Amino acid sequence: MSRNSSPAAVQIGSNIANARKALSMTVDQLAVASRIDSSNIRSYEAGRAMMNVRSLVRIAEALKVDPGVLLDGVVSEMFVTSD
């Protein structure tokens, strides 16, 4: 997980938070449902960390959305690279 926020991490985090709130679900409830620690969920939602694909799918399943919903608005240029 990256310590540097990227626009992609911020967008995905916002999408997660919006989907969670639409279900009136707390961060702790999402953590239990996805089997991901609540501190990680908070970091993802804040855009401070980028989850791996497995975690993205687990979060999507817990939120009862297609994983693509969490990627809405994300384009390759949004990822910070060291190139």
Q: Does residue 39 belong to any structural domain of this protein?
A: yes
76 within domain boundaries: no
Q: Which pLDDT band holds residue 5 (cuts at 50, 70, 90)?
A: confident
Burial zone of 64 (CB within 10 Å; 0-12 exposed, 13-18 middle, 19+ buried): exposed
pLDDT at 47 over 60: yes
Within a domain: residue 53? yes
pLDDT at 4: 62
Residue 47 included in any domain:
yes
Q: What percent of the chain has pLDDT over 70?
A: 92
Residue 58 lies in a domain: yes
Q: Which domain holds residue 54?
A: 7-66
CATH at residue 47? 1.10.260.40
Residue 83 counted as domain residue = no
Q: Which two tokens stand for residue 34?
A: 């996805």
For 55, the token pair is 């975690």
* Separation in Å, CA 70 to CA 16, 20, 26, 63, 73: 6, 11, 17, 10, 9
In a domain, 1, yes or no: no
Tokens of 26: 């707390």
